Chains A and B, each alone.
Chain A
Amino acid sequence: GESVGLHLPTLSVQEGDNSIINCAYSNSASDYFIWYKQESGKGPQFIIDIRSNMDKRQGQRVTVLLNKTVKHLSLQIAATQPGDSAVYFCAERRNNAGNMLTFGGGTRLMVKP
């Protein structure tokens, strides 16, 4: 759904624990999904992507899961570190949208030492 205003969902985890950040998307025609990390005062930074013909993709310490049945995307971060503290956005490319990405509302991850 839409996320308007200053409030961001926040996930607080202990350093070393695993983090799971969730994202719901609304367009069943979306064929490509991306996770970005945005640290304070910086632009979004690409983390990992997944195409709609896959349900899982792994990177370095991160895994993205895609459940097209319920239109749900998640980002799992293993052994969360203080440097992982940031706002995390999911983004989707709606079918035939070319280069246009539609961003979600973001989740703030806070890592406690």
Chain B
Amino acid sequence: EPEVTQTPSHQVTQMGQEVILRCVPISNHLYFYWYRQILGQKVEFLVSFYNNEISEKSEIFDDQFSVERPDGSNFTLKIRSTKLEDSAMYFCASSAREYTGELFFGEGSRLTVL
């Protein structure tokens, strides 16, 4: 069964460092997303992406965040200068359709900022 894969599974970084989280969405999906979940809290929307452009972004997704589809398979989330409060599980998701809740999530990348 096709699945969304994410790397790394866990990254530890120092405050102020840049981090890139990588995702390989399901191959025939066109819509891509990043969500995050701070430990013990709700899953929060960060950004949606389609046709090489950001479709929507939340207030969390400030200038420190960026997304990119550098090739035909990868979808990345970059945090330029990490803060302690960026520590969270970051989930990538993809969908075949727009405006759907049928998202396929990866297993997440846990980011720990020290």
Contacts and interface: CB of A to CB of B under 8 A. Distances in A.
B101 A91 contact: yes
Contacts of B105: 42-45
B75 interface: no
A101 B45 contact: yes
Classify chain B's interface size. 20 to 34
Classify chain A's interface size. 20 to 34
A25 B33 CA distance: 23
B43 interface: yes
Interface string B88-114: 000101000011111111111000000
A103 B99 contact: no
Interface of A: 3-7, 32-34, 41-46, 49, 89, 91, 93, 97-106
Interface of B: 4, 31, 33, 39-45, 48, 55-56, 58, 91, 93, 98-108
